[in-house]
Amino acid sequence: MIYAIIGASAGVGRALATAFAAAGHDLVIVSSDERDLRALSSDLTIRHGRRVAAIAADVNDGDGYLDRVADAAGRLGALDGMLFPLGATAEDDDGRFDPSLVGALNRVNYEAVVSAATRFLPELRERPRATLVAFGSVAAVRGRGRNVAYSAAKRALQGFFESLRHACAGSRVRVQFYVLGYMETEQARGLQSRIPKGDPLALGRRVCRDVHRDVGVVYYPRFWRLIAGGVRAVPWTMYKRMRF
């Protein structure tokens, strides 16, 4: 089968690409880091013997790259699914609301995913089985004074995927949304927390295993579902005093 992974060169994206290639899938991988993309493409081809099309593109530059994704997928066959492990945070996303920063975070974390998913949805509906997978964050469980625009965009994305899942119910398209806790990636490196971090490669294998199942919303690592429930249950009078 053929999957497109948008944001594939590092962290969770790289782990997904590795897991899907190891499971025998051909890939279209997209990232703004051209050198890493080339390296990953070679690695997956040599190690797992899969066909991999690499597209260097920055989603901040608009949706033009989606034509190249469509071309590359067409050369391999036809897309069976898309995964969107992309996103961006910013140190100064703390409620100062610089409009350009909010716009940029919104673009990467929400708009780019929505554009790509809606662009390829008609094509995916024609496939015998197809899947759309997006990734959110536990940071979006409840609004707080840090990662303000990031969390809002991820929450919007979760809402969009919930709607998309509803719209695709009864069709052959699976729509999945993974809410990620702390992961062993560069983003969470140095994070002082007693909460164990998730292994990106184990996540990749899990996503690959369940790619045809109607899993809906999945927390990863799983215990984050409990933590998220607890955070939501904290009364506002207490929550407003919490600093995390």
Partner 1 sequence: MTARPGVRGVPTLLVSFDGGVRERTVCHRPDRYRLLESDVDSRARIARGGGYSYAAASFGGGSVTVEMQRFNRILGFDPARRTIEVEAGMTLGELLPVTARAGLWLAVQPGYPTITVGGCIAANVHGKNPFRDGTFRSCVADLTLFHPDHGFRRLSETEGASALELTCGGYGLTGIVVAATLRLEPLGGGRVSVKRHAIGTLSEAARMVQDLAGKSLFAYTWHDATPRPRTFGRGYVYEGTLDPGGLDAGDLAAPYRVVTAAGRARLPFSLWNTASARLFASAYWHLERHRPEVTSSGLFDAIFPFARRSAYFRLFGRPGLVEYQVIVPFDRTESFLAKLGRLILSASPPSVLLSMKAFAGEPGRLRFEADGICLTLNLERSATTLDLLARLDELSIETAALPNIIKDSRLPARVVRACYPEYERFRRELAVFDPPRRFRSDLSERLGL
Q: Using CB under 8 A as the criterion, which residues of the chain lie in contact with partner 1 when the complex forms? A: 7, 9-14, 33, 35-36, 39-40, 42-43, 46-47, 85-89, 91, 135, 150, 180, 183, 185-187, 189-190
Nearer to partner 1, 7 or 168 (CB): 7
Minimal distance, residue 38 CB to partner 1, in Å: 8
Nearer to partner 1, 73 or 183 (CB): 183
Nearer to partner 1, 11 or 221 (CB): 11
Cα distance between the two ends of the chain? 42
Side chain identity at residue 65, one-letter code: Y
Minimal distance, residue 9 CB to partner 1, in Å: 7
C-beta separation of 9 from 29 below 8 A: yes
Minimal distance, residue 123 CB to partner 1, in Å: 25
145 CB-contact burial (10 Å; exposed 0-12 / middle 13-18 / buried 19+): exposed
Phi–psi pair at 38, nearest 5 degrees: -60, -45
Nearer to partner 1, 45 or 70 (CB): 45
Q: Which two tokens stand for residue 51?
A: 């066909």
Minimal distance, residue 235 CB to partner 1, in Å: 30
Nearer to partner 1, 173 or 205 (CB): 205
Q: Which two tokens stand for residue 215?
A: 């899993």
CA 187/CA 184 separation, integer angstroms: 8
The H-or-E segment that residue 29 falls in is strand 26-31
Residue 82's contacts (CB-CB under 8 Å, 6 or more residues apart) are 3, 4, 5, 6, 116, 117, 120, 124, 131, 132, 133
Minimal distance, residue 217 CB to partner 1, in Å: 17
Q: Which two tokens stand for residue 29?
A: 């991988």
Side chain identity at residue 145, one-letter code: G
Minimal distance, residue 44 CB to partner 1, in Å: 9
Nearer to partner 1, 12 or 72 (CB): 12
